[in-house]
Structure 1
């Protein structure tokens, strides 16, 4: 089983590291060091997706983030995620998101006005203070742009699948140590983790991480992950200064309440949790 786990981790990493590269079934089978006739069956059985579905999802997620968070031309983004032309990229993107790339960018650019939302009134993404439980994670660290942490999440998921750990999983959590506005993208540190029970043995490549419980400000965010950057700016730039609260001494976390593999982008639910003293 460890051999298949290693193969799956290699392929997941290759897809995320090479969105514009050759991600054909033959190439992915080569990375896995298996016959294409068998690798496709193994990949689908272990992940619930075909290789083609996984490739398209990773490419379109990367494109969605670049559309909202950068000013790269649409044609460049199409090429950077492996599409030979803007029309072919636009067709696939619209089929997945219900919007053309240009319209998606325009809608995404509407997020910054959250910074000038009515002070003290934020009905779309409400923020409350509550007690969060301590959490024990089985995690894989990620270093680099936060938009690329999906690679680490898919790696930890692959390990859980290969080891039969899912019955002991209690949710997925991301831990984000650095401010992307203050730290170079390639130096950002984060963790992709799955909450587990105390009895589960956590071993390489997984790391055991214990998150403290206590008082947190929790923002209930709904929508594509690409919009989280603007949501953070509202939380830290508007809500926190007016709240009278002080942040705690450990990093913010994101608790993912549903799965982008089977949930529309607009229906994704994320609790952004900032520790308080």
Structure 2
């Protein structure tokens, strides 16, 4: 088995079993390697320990559920691998800078833009740019947009394990459907990186983002709360801008790395193609 395949198996296992046994021994068994050697291989190839990846993926899933669902926080905690509510609160606060309850309240997304008071509305910077065509290599995803994280983990792992990261620009995500108009199970998206090399590497798919004018909103904060940026872009900026969207998908450009910065420091550009 290739080492890349071992990594991808382990990432899939973590994603599919957030409340399961994700100890180093278990993950080493999934990778079919000894515990001692697996820990060193994983850290050398990803830059993170297994424990760091497990924690990041569990808390990312919890953050998304806190925003999207009304499930009790304790239930979300257990289903994301934290059977003790206190340990969940401590881990979440350490990563997101606030308690799960405060995060849920701050990320409330059920108020349409026209019904929000000006004092409650977060303003986001938007600029118009002319961009060139961009080629992305990565992996297609079908289903809930909040579940695309596993594909990004896989893309990053494949780029690093093949030592072709230096031929890439920023990590990017393309989102082809309106989540309000298409069933969640049918949503189409793409997790990738801008490709500056030649032919598409084996195992990757490629999509192209067209050249032209784009409105770019810069969003700061956790990926789980990106929807508030989209709502402001479509509900506040676009109606007063005099611009018309093109028949082309929105895409996101990730300016920093969730492995290196806290969720509240993440910077994401939302690109809306306009005529």
Q: Same fold (TM over 0.5)?
A: yes
Decide which moves more: 33-42 or 47-56: 33-42
TM-score normalised by length of structure 2: 0.93
Partner residue in 1 for 2:73: 74
Query: Does the Cα contact within 8 Å between 1:136 and 1:198 map onto a contact in 2?
Result: no
Structure 2's unaligned 5+ residue stretches are none
Partner residue in 2 for 1:206: 204
**Alpha-carbon deviation of 1:114?**
5.8
**Alpha-carbon deviation of 1:271?**
0.6
Structure 1's unaligned 5+ residue stretches are none
Structure 2 residue 255 is matched with structure 1 residue 264: no
In the TM superposition, 1:13-92 aligns within 5 A as 13-92=12-91
In the TM superposition, 1:246-261 aligns within 5 A as 246-261=244-259
Find the aligned partners of 1:26 and 1:234 in 2 and give their Cα distance.
46
Label 1:183 to 1:66 Cα distance change in 2 as closer, same or farther (>3 A). Answer: same
Query: Does the Cα contact within 8 Å between 1:143 and 1:187 map onto a contact in 2?
Result: yes
Partner residue in 2 for 1:129: 128
Query: Does the Cα contact within 8 Å between 1:114 and 1:230 map onto a contact in 2?
Result: no
TM-score normalised by length of structure 1: 0.92
Q: For each residue in 1:213-269, what CA deviation from the matched residue of structure 2 results, as whole angstroms up to 9, or x when unmatched?
A: 110111111111111112111211222222222211210000000011111211111
Find the aligned partners of 1:166 and 1:33 in 2 and give their Cα distance.
26
Q: Specify the SS of the correspondent of 1:218.
A: strand
Q: Specify the SS of the correspondent of 1:258.
A: coil
Query: Does the Cα contact within 8 Å between 2:113 and 2:235 map onto a contact in 1?
Result: no
Task: Show structure 1 runs of 4+ deviating over 4 A.
Answer: 110-115
Find the aligned partners of 1:8 and 1:182 in 2 and give their Cα distance.
35
In the TM superposition, 1:107-126 aligns within 5 A as 107-109=106-108, 112=111, 116=116, 118=118, 124-126=123-125
Find the aligned partners of 2:40 and 2:222 in 1 and give their Cα distance.
30
Query: Does the Cα contact within 8 Å between 1:111 and 1:230 map onto a contact in 2?
Result: no
**Alpha-carbon deviation of 1:91?**
1.6
Structure 2 residue 236 is matched with structure 1 residue 238: yes
Partner residue in 1 for 2:271: 273
Q: Specify the SS of the correspondent of 2:181.
A: coil
Q: What root-mean-square deviation, in Å, do the aligned CA atoms of Structure 1 and Structure 2 show?
A: 1.9
Query: Does the Cα contact within 8 Å between 2:93 and 2:99 map onto a contact in 1?
Result: yes
Find the aligned partners of 2:97 and 2:236 in 1 and give their Cα distance.
31
Label 1:206 to 1:64 Cα distance change in 2 as closer, same or farther (>3 A). Answer: same
